[in-house]
Structure formats: C-alpha cells, structure tokens
Structure 1
Amino acid sequence: LEELYIPDEEKVDQNGRDIISLVPKPNGVSVDDLVDKSLELTGNSENTGGSVMARSNKWRPGGRITMQDTELGTVGVEGLKIQARRWFTTHTGFVDQNGYYQCDGTYKNPANYSFNFERYEFEIRGSISGVDGPKMEGNWNQHYQRNTKQNYHSNIFRAAFHYAYKNILNLRRPPQNGFWRTQLKIQANYFNDPDGTSNGNHNPARRFLGMGSAIHMYAPTRPSSGLYGTTIHEMAHASHWNMDKNNYNNGDKIVVESWARGVQWALTRMVYSNYNLTSQYIRGSYTGVVQDLIDPAKLVQNGLYQADGNLEYINASYNDQVANYNVRQVEDALNGNRTWIGWRNKMFNSYNNPTKNNINATFTFWETR
C-alpha cells in the first residue's frame, strides 16, 4: 500500500506551530490547497461554501473532562488519554488535574473525539469501556454526574492513575505492563457484591495470560472517597503481590489486609484530607497498625473499632506511643514476611526510631480481638 499523506491533519511543533505552515508554497499554491481540490473532486470535501482554494482556519482539539465528587465538587478526571481522529490521523491529549486537555495537532475539518478508561499500566473494565464523542470542530467538554456509569469509572480511574503514575510516598508501584508482563485489569462492576461482603477484592490468579481482572470493584453508589479508597486498597494488594508473591499468597490475613488498609489511609488522604478509617479498622484482620506506626502518638482508648464484624466501642487500655515511621519503611519491613510477629520484629530491628520500644504494644493491641 502507498503511504497516505494528509496535511489537513498536522502535528504541532514544540512552539505550538503547525508543522505544515513551515512548508514552502511554490507558485503560491500550498499542499493544503491541492488536498482541498482533491477532496472536492472525489466528493469528500466538507467545505460548505466558497472557493475550495480558500481553506478554512485550522483548529486544535481540546476541552475539559470532569466528574462530580461527593466531597470535592467538580474535579478533573486526571490522566485520561483523549484522542481526536480524522481519517487516518489521530491527535492525543491528556487530562490534567483540573480536567483540561489539549491535543498535539490541528485539523481544519471536523474530527471524532473519544477516550477509554485505560492507560498503558492499567485498564478499567466493566459495563462501559470508554466514551465516543461527536464529530465536531472546537472543544469537547464532558461532565459526569453522580450515579452514572461514567462517574463510577472516572472515580476508579482517578485512583488507579494516582497509584500507577503519581506521587505515592516512595512506595512500590503495582504490577507494571511490559514484555512478559500483563497490564493490570480492574473490573468495575456496576452493582453490589453478590455475596454482600465486599466493596472490592483482589485475586492474582485472575491475571492469567492477561485475560482476567485481578481486581473487582463493587458498590458504585458509595461516596467518592470510599470508591477512591477501595481502589487504592485493592491496588495495594496487587503491589504487595508483585513485591513478594510467595509471602503474599501464603501470608496471614491480618498482615495482608492491615498493609492494604494502611496504604488506603496514607494515599487516599493525599486527595481527601479528612479521610478517616477509624470505623473500618478491625482488630485481628483489617487493623490500623500502619497508621499508628506513622502518625503522631495518640490515645486510642474507647475507640470505635470493629470486633468480630460488629461495630462497637472497645474499652482498650492502649496508648499509641509509636510515631514518625514512614510508609516506605513499613513496606520494606513487610517485604519477606508473611506473619504478624515477623513483620513486627523486622520493624523493631530495622530502624533507629526513638519510639521503637513501643512497637510491641501497638502490634499486641491490634492482633487482640
């Protein structure tokens, strides 16, 4: 096949100029003029009137993609890869934190906008895979209200993009895409967990050949911070598995779930400053040990915790006297350990923290039902 060259659809250089505008025009006739005439003669011209030799102004695709957040209001769906396509040429832009994007090229006729809830490192699957926009000129803007599939997918996407690409306090990333490695798949189910027991789950066995989704998400009508936090929690499991597969697969539940709960607390509050997990900590399984190791010393007496699945006040004679570890230190101590005691001992032995002598009390409190 011959190469097809359509200067109607040009990239821009680093200064934002159309590359085609730099091409000489012999005898005053540009390549654009020749293409316009060719399109007219073949019945493909979209010129609505006037001389085809007087070509229309070029335009650069852009716009804003946002969603309604229950706590933050209107927020950008940061990280979305937006594509504008016309014939055989596609220009691409990426949504920033405020929702704005601009593609890397120009057109002089309408183009089709679209995006998928996917980046190189991960893909959000579910009842929708993306959004196909209209064929148009000018900016394409979208805003997704609460209790829509687009809002649900957008919420999960924001959290996944955070863990895969943004600042995660020096933690290890979840499994990354590449040669002999499969892209992380997240199944966004637009319904509640059929068993009624989970907001999400992670099973590395479902990664087989990249066909299944290691992470499944449920309960789409929860507050935005809850959806964000659950996504972080399940991706923390994926990262833990990727770091130490054998000890993750054979690890004690209290170790595996306490770590994911801790990362959930640490990363989600980077976006939702008032995010609080107190009522979601469960002594003996989904504990708050990671938070206690990191945050300032505090009294944790008569706290609202879950015990054996029931939310209740526990008269706990426990004074959290451990502080100022960082989350990467906790992760490094987790690496190579599958037991609660092994994790505790490595925390104690690995770092010269002035509060280390209180670590035993912290671990003892959280393992006691």
Structure 2
Amino acid sequence: MSAKVHIKAYGKNSDEVYSTTIHEIAHASHWVNNVFVYDDIVQDAFLGHSAAIRNNNRRLLESWATTVEIAFALERYTNVFNVAGYEYLYGNFQNLMIQDQNHYTSGGWDMIDDINQRTDPDFGNGDLDFPADNVSGYSITQLENALFTANSWWKWRDNIINMYDNPTEGNLFELFANWPDN
C-alpha cells in the first residue's frame, strides 16, 4: 500500500519542509473531521462542471491548509526556536499579489492577522493588485470550526459570519471577493 501523502521538497529550507508537512496534515484533518463534505469539495475542485466551481472549492481546500501552515511555522520558528523577526514564505503570504495565486491564498491568515497588505507600506502600499484585507481578530479555532460544514469558499465565509461576532466581519465579503472564481 502506498502512503497517502508524499512530500517532495528536495533542496528546500527546513521551515518549508516542516510547513509543507503541516499543510498536508491540515488537509488530512479537514478530511477526518467531515469526510463526506470534504470528498464532495475535492470532487468539485477537480471535476466541477465549471471553472468557477473548481476554483472556488480548490481555493477553500488550499487556503485553509495554507493558513494552518503559516500559523504552525510562525509558532515553531518564532516562539519555540526564538528566531527574531521570522516570517514565513512571502512575508507570511502578505507579499503575494492576487494574480500570483488563486488557490493558495492569504485569505485565511488575513482573517487572523492585523495587516492590510493592500495599504501596508511594507507590502502593497496602495497597490490594487494586493488583496484588500480589512479583516482581523479571528482565531484559527474559529476558522476551523466554520470550515467543517463549509462545502465552498463562500460557505466558509458565511459560516464565519453566522457563527462568530467580530467587529470586522462586515469586511469578509470584500476579503473573500479578492480572488476570482474564473
């Protein structure tokens, strides 16, 4: 029997290997916590009838796993190993423009952090090619709880709004709309 996860990160830095491992474990955890919904999301992400459905569902899968990846990398290298000023890939994905990545987005991390990369002088500095991120203050646990019954990118957003009170929740529509479905 073959392994379910294969990580081929030859020549990568140790933090990237660690984080890729966490990313794949996040997919497995998502699957374990709601097998039927997860299987439907995966099927639609790769076999959906339209590009919009495929992109929407793949974005949900990969953005969630990317969020966990960033959180674990920051915890490990900042708090456990005390690496001063540590940032994960692309400045914790804040240096990625919208067109750089339609699936592995900063969207989940954007709901946790307090950086608006579109306006922050260290990132987009007003460049409209960066996501508008006026959302902050959610916990990774809140995002995970909202994930388990979400069968699409948009349903994840709706679950977050319906399940939690957050002063920035009105900006979730703007945040989620940064990445196109087509």
- Which of structures 1 and 2 has the bigger CA Rg? 1
User: Percent of aligned positions with the same letter in both sequences?
Assistant: 32
Asked which structure has the greater RCO (Cα within 8 Å, sep 6+), the reply is 2
Aligned to 2:68: 263
Residue in structure 1 matching 2:103, options 282, 285, 288: 285
- Structure 1 stretches of 4+ with a deviation exceeding 4 A read 279-282, 301-304
Residue in structure 1 matching 2:13, options 214, 217, 223: 223
Alignment of 1:113-128 (within 5 A): none
Aligned to 1:341: 154
Alignment of 1:1-369 (within 5 A): 211-251=1-41, 252-273=57-78, 274-277=86-89, 278=93, 282-301=100-119, 315-316=128-129, 318-367=131-180
Q: For structure 1, which runs of at least 5 residues remain unmatched after alignment? A: 1-210, 305-313
Shift of the alpha carbon at 1:317? 6.6
- Rounded to whole Å, the distance in 1 between the matches of 2:137 and 2:68 is 15
Q: Secondary structure of the equivalent of 2:114? A: coil
- Rounded to whole Å, the distance in 1 between the matches of 2:175 and 2:77 is 26
Query: How has the CA–CA distance of structure 1 residues 366 and 319 changed in structure 2, closer, same or farther, with 3 Å as cutoff?
Result: same
Query: How has the CA–CA distance of structure 1 residues 317 and 240 changed in structure 2, closer, same or farther, with 3 Å as cutoff?
Result: closer
TM-score (norm 2): 0.74
Q: CA RMSD in A?
A: 2.3
Query: How has the CA–CA distance of structure 1 residues 317 and 242 changed in structure 2, closer, same or farther, with 3 Å as cutoff?
Result: closer
- Rounded to whole Å, the distance in 2 between the matches of 1:341 and 1:237 is 18
TM-score (norm 1): 0.38
Higher strand share: 1
Q: Secondary structure of the equivalent of 2:62? A: helix
Q: Secondary structure of the equivalent of 2:177? A: helix
- Rounded to whole Å, the distance in 2 between the matches of 1:319 and 1:254 is 17
Aligned length: 150
Check the 8 A contact 1:322/1:356 in 2, yes or no.
yes
- Cα deviation code 1:188-240 (max 9, x no counterpart): xxxxxxxxxxxxxxxxxxxxxxx331110102221111101100001111111
- Rounded to whole Å, the distance in 2 between the matches of 1:331 and 1:351 is 12
Check the 8 A contact 1:225/1:275 in 2, yes or no.
no
Q: Secondary structure of the equivalent of 2:88? A: coil
Shift of the alpha carbon at 1:368? 6.1
Query: How has the CA–CA distance of structure 1 residues 367 and 266 changed in structure 2, closer, same or farther, with 3 Å as cutoff?
Result: farther
- Cα deviation code 1:23-49 (max 9, x no counterpart): xxxxxxxxxxxxxxxxxxxxxxxxxxx
Query: How has the CA–CA distance of structure 1 residues 246 and 367 changed in structure 2, closer, same or farther, with 3 Å as cutoff?
Result: farther
- Cα deviation code 1:161-210 (max 9, x no counterpart): xxxxxxxxxxxxxxxxxxxxxxxxxxxxxxxxxxxxxxxxxxxxxxxxxx
Shift of the alpha carbon at 1:248? 1.6
